[in-house]
Amino acid sequence: MSLHGFRAELLSVPEDPAQGGGVRHHPDGLLVVEDGLVVAFGDHADLAPRFADVAVERIDGLIVPGFVDCHVHYPQTDRIAAHGAQLLEWLERHIFPAEAAFADRTHADGVAAFFLDELLRNGTTSALVFATVHAQSVDALFEAALARNMRIVSGKVLMDLGPDTLRDDVASGRADTEALIARWRGRGRLGYAVTPRFALTSSDAQLAGAGDLVAAHPDILMHTHLAENMGEVAAVAARFTSARDYLDVYDRFGLVGPRSVFAHCIHMDDPAMARMAGAGAGIAFCPTSNFFLGSGLFDLARAHACGVKTGIGTDVGAGTSFSLLSTLGEAYKVSQLCGDRLDPFHALYLATAGGAQVLGLGDRIGGLQPGQEADFIVLDTSATPLMARRTAGASLHDRLFALQVLGDDRAVARTYVAGVLAWARRT
């Protein structure tokens, strides 16, 4: 691929603004891409002489890095908006039956294709994705992601204490995981995550084996759920009576470290948060899911004060939207209820470079820095009459906040993956 330029308004938040990181904004900017990587990102007037011979496409809209979804379940796509119940009953009633269908590879292929296209339509170019207990569910997702050149991290779910229709055993779970790592390692932009569903669905032996897998493969992540729901927390405490808390359960099995990503983390005290920070583990904040299941309010400011790296997860299907813009709007409301105000630049960081940090990909994606992969989207602040009216003549801060609160998939005009147009809104 030869050099190609995109002239538009550019915005990136490559470092946490709450930690003093700067906002990179160029009202008339130039983004230059070569072979899927960012070559330059800056003012058009400054860069144009250097790239005078480069073909430049003029784009009407705001270019930002592609969104990073830190926690989402692709097999739950068809059960989004499933009525009733909190977490444990909701799993039994709606989710486990839906996931059992992924024993059929054809079914898995169809859902994987729809799921990834839906991510692209919503401006999400990278995601950490739960599959099911079936190895072929991972194969289906990875094959579809490879065809779209997306940066997707996933893994076979480990759950030897799951229901009869969704149960592996210690030996088969480990063998399937090792085979999947060997089959997919180094292919395209894919990554693997060892994925115990949560503490209650795995035996002690399987949790220990998961820790062994993480230790044996330094290039993979560990992805699970933690302290989402009070009923779940109570059940974990009843089973693991000698553990200090829920996090300590995972810690005892070698599952808390710099490559660990825990979804939710609502019901945790400061010592547990401090332990996460010390270990370098990350949190996926899933506000729409937490509202939908009545799980509670995640205190983002407290996690930040404790030094825990945090990103945003849609958590579909408990989450109610594939749109990270909509999810950020709900995150703002959660923060308000917790006595804080989520700044729109900090919100954009969480959905881009912050999420990349949680996934251990901060050097590759999330900031549109020179040398990083050129995943980006074009946002349209006039996508609806109300947004157009609200943002007319507004400051960058207010336009970005309006996108966060009023925006959804309609505000995404185009999605580019590695510098190539992957989705465009019909006009």
Q: Is 320 in the same domain as 399? A: no
Both 148 and 205 in one domain: the answer is yes
> Using one digit for the tens of pLDDT, what is the confidence trace for 67-102?
999 999 999 999 999 998 899 899 999 999 999 999
Q: What backbone phi and psi angles, to 5 degrees, belong to 58?
A: -85, 125
Same domain, 331 and 395: no
Angle of helix 105-121 relative to helix 135-148, nearest 10 degrees?
A: 40
> Measured between alpha carbons, how far is residue 223 from residues 127, 152, 257, 270, 277 in Å?
12, 13, 11, 21, 16
The pLDDT assigned to 280 comes to 98
Backbone phi and psi for residue 291, each to the nearest 5 degrees, phi listed first: -65, -50
Distances in whole angstroms, Cα of residue 294 to Cα of each of 90, 96, 301 = 11, 19, 20
Nearest to 422 by CA among 29, 124, 115: 124
Give the CATH number for residue 241.
Answer: 3.20.20.140
The domain boundary, picked from 326, 358, 390, lies at 358
**Alpha carbons 168 and 147: distance in angstroms, whole number:** 29
E-state strands within 112-208? 124-130, 151-155, 157-158, 191-196
Last residue of a domain, one of 324, 358, 392: 358
pLDDT value of residue 1? 52
Residues 56, 154, single domain; the answer is no
Q: What is the CATH number of the domain that holds 46?
A: 2.30.40.10
Q: How many structural domains are present in the chain?
A: 2
In this structure, are 46 and 121 located in the same domain? no
pLDDT of residue 36: 97
Tell me: do 268 and 384 sit in the same domain: no
> pLDDT digits over 21-56, tens only?
889 999 999 999 999 999 999 999 999 999 999 999
Pair 408, 289 in one domain: no
Which has the closest alpha carbon to 278: 245, 253, 256, 304? 256
Task: Name every residue whose Cβ is closer than 8 Å to that of residue 59 and which is 6 or more positions away in sequence.
Answer: 6, 7, 8, 378, 414
pLDDT-flagged residues of the chain (< 50) = none
Share of the chain above pLDDT 70, in %: 100
pLDDT computed for residue 21 by the predictor: 82
Phi, psi for 208 (deg, rounded to 5) = -65, -40
Q: Could you tell me the residue range of the domain that residue 309 belongs to?
A: 67-358
Q: Give the C-alpha separation, 8 to 31, whole Å.
A: 8
Looking at the fold, whether 142 and 201 belong to one and the same domain comes out as yes
Paired tokens of 388: 């157009």
| Domain identity same for 225 and 150 | yes
